[in-house]
Chain A
């Protein structure tokens, strides 16, 4: 009966075997493969399976310190997917100027310990304040909107922080009300989203 049902369900499949797909050997798909392989690989997942040593390297920048205070959770995240709720925007700081910032090499294990993580889309930029609509809370919050305040152009060049653009989506982590940079927040690329999903679940 089980296989009978399975076979009957196959007939509901919109992608019947007669529906063509592109073979991996066509010129177009070979081109796609080469394009993917031309992208730089990252060692956040070391191929040897050995954990990358966590090296602290100080860098002068006008941003916050990436806080990796494991165990100090201001917001108790549980990895579930609460729907954003309306209310006043959650205020997060992009950092003050002239702060000695430190970066830690990117590691999903560290990302996982971040107390707050979300994906949002910039809906407005007003001076030094950017407002994001939260599309998805990975951890540690439920606000429908987040306001990012402060920051300066220096941080873009010094620690790889990101300029905000209206209409663009960003993946953001924060600790103690401060946005984390150094790869722990940034434009919502498939790669970074993959790391967020690995760390927090989809």
Chain B
């Protein structure tokens, strides 16, 4: 119960913007079609399959509730921003459960977290892993979600300029780490193997 005193038409949902409003339903269906699969990818990159599926429900519910304030041009980054917070809450909840299990003296649960498919590119993966999490996340959003700085700013709740700076720094750090690889330059060799390295 959000408040003791809802407006009289709120419970029925028939008011403009309510749950039976055809315009609202149509808009939700349109955005749902846009974000449904990218959100699955975003979540499964960062959480176990089960957690990702449950958090997806949370995100969709927030999307439905907040539909009037969802920016039309940036609905997907907006959803990623909601998903980011929902995942943070899920991780806190998992950590809490873990602490409880440990307090009870039972075997700690190994929480499955999908990290990254790093094994095929060990040098690049090693360099990526050495970055701070904040750098990794901005790079993930840029490379994996394919977002531009303005969109990443929407996800992380900051300014595009700040993201551009962070992205530039993160790219430089990653490049420097790759340059420090062994003389065979395994990291760059991984790029050459796929024909994408332009020296």
Contacts and interface: CB of A to CB of B under 8 A. Distances in A.
Most buried by B among A7, A12, A46: A12
B162 interface: no
Contacts of B65: 39, 41-42, 45, 191, 194
Interface of B: 1-7, 10-11, 13, 15-19, 24-25, 28-29, 32-33, 36-37, 40-41, 44-45, 57-58, 60-69, 82, 84-86, 88-89, 92-93, 96, 114-118, 120-121, 124-125, 128, 139-140, 142-144, 157, 171, 174-175, 190-191, 194, 196-198
Interface stretch (A69-77, A85-93, A102-110): A102-110
Nearest to A159: B4
Contacts of A9: 124, 128, 139-140, 142-144
B4 A202 contact: no
A8 B196 contact: yes
A201 B138 CA distance: 19
Nearest to B4: A103
A41 B19 contact: yes
Nearest to A10: B143
Contacts of B93: 135, 169
B60 A36 contact: yes
A39 B3 CA distance: 16
A14 B61 contact: no
A165 interface: no
Nearest to A160: B1
Contact of A182 (B3, B85, B190): B3
B156 to A, nearest CB: 10
A156 to B, nearest CB: 10
Contact of B125 (A12, A23, A33, A41): A12
A135 B93 CA distance: 8
Interface of A: 1-2, 4-16, 19, 21-25, 29, 32-33, 36-49, 52, 55, 57, 59, 103-106, 119, 121, 133, 135-136, 159-160, 169, 182-183, 190-191, 193-194, 197, 201-202
29 contacts: A1-B198, A4-B191, A8-B124, A8-B196, A9-B142, A11-B121, A12-B116, A14-B117, A19-B41, A24-B33, A24-B36, A33-B28, A33-B29, A40-B11, A41-B10, A41-B18, A41-B19, A41-B64, A41-B65, A45-B65, A45-B68, A103-B3, A121-B96, A160-B1, A160-B3, A182-B3, A193-B85, A193-B86, A202-B157
B66 A8 contact: no
A6 B19 contact: no
Contacts of A190: 58, 61-62, 86
Contact of B19 (A10, A14, A37, A197): A37
Given A10-B143, A24-B36, 16 more contacts: A9-B140, A13-B143, A13-B144, A15-B45, A32-B57, A33-B29, A39-B65, A40-B10, A40-B11, A41-B13, A41-B67, A43-B15, A57-B5, A106-B3, A159-B4, A182-B3
Given A12-B128, A29-B36, A36-B64, A4 B197 contact: yes
A121 B128 CA distance: 35
B195 to A, nearest CB: 10
A14 B17 contact: no
A160 B4 contact: yes
B175 to A, nearest CB: 7
Contacts of A44: 2
Contacts of A2: 171
Contacts of B117: 12-14, 16
